[in-house]
Amino acid sequence: MEIFDYIVIGSGCTGAMAAQTLVEKGVQVLMVDGGMTDTNYDGLIPDKDYLSIKQQEARQYEYFIGKNFEGIPFGKVKTGEHLTPPRKFMLRKVQDWMPLLSDTFSPLESLSLGGLGNGWGLGCCMFSDAELKMAGLNTTKMNAAYETVGKRIGISGDKDDTGKYTSGGLSQLMPSIQMDSTGANLYQNYQRKKSGLNKEGFFMGRPSLALLTEDKNNRKAYQYKDLDFYCDQDKSAYRPAFTVEELKQKNNFSYQGGLMVLKFEEGTDSIKIECRSLANNEPVFFECRKLVIAASCLSTARIVLRSYNAYNTRLPIISNPYSYLPSLQPYLLGRDSDRHKIGFAQLSLFYDPGFNNEYVAMSSIYSYRSLMAFHILKETPMSTKTGFEFLQYMMPAFTIAGLFHPEMGGSTKYLELKKDPGQVTGDALGVNYHLTEAENQKVAHNEHKFTQALRKLNCFVLKKMNPGHGSGIHYAGTLPFSDKNEKFKLHSNGKLGESNNIFVADGSGFTYLPAKGLTFSLMANAHIVALSALED
């Protein structure tokens, strides 16, 4: 059996970034991955904007509501239901191969090429030095890694009031995308009232996004087609699959998709990886000198626990509490002035009561249109006919504020792998996730403060929605960083405790989750871990 220098497990944001670092240094890398791709909708969406498609295309139902109507949620709405039909491939085979038992935690996991990065909201926030320390990360290395990753993926943003919370400190920043009327009106109101809001600890600005506003290599600048939830035609939005496709052109990189990694066994000179084919459940084995696991913190926990036969062993987990606040800007009622709405976040609103960039809560502001009226209509307590008349009037004024809260670990948040012969993997991951009373109060307090701040911006919250723990898709901390060489802990360089050549490049080590989107930090950490694996 060929022994690879390095095997990287997973092709998501962290796997792609770690693999790129390794490949650039010239070592032989094999990426082992679930590798699910979109076979139903790829190439189906015409190269037009949303309204032109709505006006002209007879077969638009195929991608807007799905060939099998999978875009219409019939029953109870679960995590992932919000994905549009062309994005649903991210979830293929997940229920079978990544069983999760929990009444309190509903995460999103993926076996797709590019992982959850296929649906990533593109937010790129740098953690402050204080946040990095609390998360167990090295500030000097991370700040350098942010620069490297930023240059690789391309980031647009502004050095405005929120620059210190986002990526305003990066040396290369493309201009922000233009705003539609939803964002522009709110930002105008902020400019008028910012001094009062700033005194209370609220700061608003343009988000840093992994979204090109200038051409970069074979990727085009954002085209404002209002199809952000459906496709990546111009490749302006960064997806890790782009990196993997580029790496496939290199001689020192190979890719094996369609596989589920079950466990590893570390020997004296090499590490053996046991996988199963997702197609026929046949075992497949690989061997390497160094292993870099970037399977996302839940799957990484599964692999590590299974490898050490550590069933019913509790590991911690942290997940940012998430809620969203559907709101209205009355000034925009009945005014449809936009040819194109924008699906990505247009503004960020930070609440930093200590003015020290430590325990910051964050809200991303979105407009709503290209997700179809029927999604909201079914929640409207009136007839579909009158309900739609109301919606048409209200739609331009609809503003969605997605709200994240910072999160620490605790004894009420843990997972464990349980034997389950009924599952194809022979086990299932159980997760218990509860906030303490004090944490719940803190979340409620923040929600109240954001509601007040939005009101001051003439944006009125209609309802508070809590979709449940895990639904924010920001989780980490299953194998926390530690100074000691302990099993189920990571060294600060990402090496798995009590192992010699096994590294973890996803968020498993983070000991604190700031409310800011963590993906950019995950990628920066993955780059550092890959460098450490090369040096170690």
Closest CA to 120 of 47, 46, 12, 252: 12
Q: How far is the CB of 382 from other proteins (least distance, A)?
A: 5
Binding mask 23-62 for other proteins (x = CB under 8 A): ----------------------------x--xxxxx-xx-
**Shortest approach of other proteins to residue 374 CB, angstroms?**
4
Which residue among 117, 387, 480, 494 contacts other proteins (CB under 8 A)?
387
Of the candidates 149, 151, 147, which has an alpha carbon nearest to the alpha carbon of residue 216? 151
Nearer to other proteins, 329 or 511 (CB): 329
Does residue number 333 form part of the binding site for other proteins (CB under 8 A)? yes
How far apart are CB 418 and other proteins at their closest, in Å? 30
Q: Per CB under 8 A, does 64 bind other proteins?
A: yes
Q: Which is nearer to other proteins, 339 or 448 (CB)?
A: 339
**Amino acid identity, position 503:** F
State how far the Cα of 107 lies from the Cα of 467, in Å rounded to an integer. 11
Nearest to 369 by CA among 53, 12, 101, 39: 53
Please tell me whether residue 460 binds other proteins under the rule CB under 8 A: no
Runs of H (alpha helix) within 175-296: 181-199, 240-247
Q: Pick the binder of other proteins from 378, 419, 448, 487 (CB under 8 A).
A: 378
Closest listed residue to residue 190, CA positions, set 458, 515, 461, 462 = 458
Q: What CA–CA distances, in Å, run from 255 to 46, 224, 248, 262?
A: 30, 33, 7, 17
Pairing mode, strands 322-328 and 283-293: unpaired
Show the DSSP H helices in 121-208 as ranges: 129-135, 139-153, 181-199
Q: How many residues does the chain have?
A: 536
Q: Is 381 in the site for other proteins (CB under 8 A)?
A: yes
Shortest reach from residue 72's CB to other proteins, in Å: 5
Least distance (Å) between residue 64 CB and other proteins: 5
Compute how many residues bind other proteins; rule: CB under 8 A. 43
d(C-alpha 371, C-alpha 87), whole Å: 13
**CA–CA separation, 301 and 116 (whole Å):** 17
Q: Which of residues 160-189 bind other proteins (CB under 8 A)?
A: none
Q: What is the spatial distance between Cα 10 and Cα 51, in angstroms, rounded to a whole number? A: 37
Q: Per CB under 8 A, which region of 274-282, 365-373, 444-452, 467-475 contacts other proteins?
A: 365-373
Of 373, 400, 465, 534, the residue at the interface with other proteins (CB under 8 A) is 373
H helix or E strand, kind and range, residue 453: helix 437-456
Specify burial of residue 411 (Cβ count, 10 A radius: 0-12, 13-18, 19+).
exposed
The least CB distance from residue 237 to other proteins, in Å, is: 23
**Interaction pattern, residues 231-250, with other proteins; x per rule: CB under 8 A:** --------------------
Chain positions 394 to 413 lying near other proteins, rule: CB under 8 A, are: 395-396
Q: Please tell me whether residue 385 binds other proteins under the rule CB under 8 A.
A: yes
Q: Are 510 and 524 in contact (CB under 8 A)?
A: no
279 contributes a contact to other proteins by CB under 8 A:
no
Gap between the Cα atoms of 14 and 78, Å rounded: 26
When the beta carbons of 192 and 339 are compared against other proteins, the nearer one is: 339
Q: Which residue has the tokens 């059996």?
A: 1
400 strand-pairing partners: 326, 366
Shortest Cβ distance from residue 47 to other proteins (Å)?
17
Closest distance between other proteins and the C-beta of residue 461, in Å? 19
Is the CB of 26 or the CB of 73 nearer to other proteins? 73
Q: Least distance in Å: CB of 337 to other proteins? A: 7
Contact call for residue 74 and other proteins (CB under 8 A)? yes
The count of other CB atoms within 10 Å of the CB of residue 242 is: 19
When the beta carbons of 378 and 487 are compared against other proteins, the nearer one is 378
Q: Give the binding site for other proteins (CB under 8 A).
A: 51, 54-58, 60-61, 64-65, 69, 71-72, 74-75, 333-338, 369, 372-374, 377-390, 392-393, 395-396
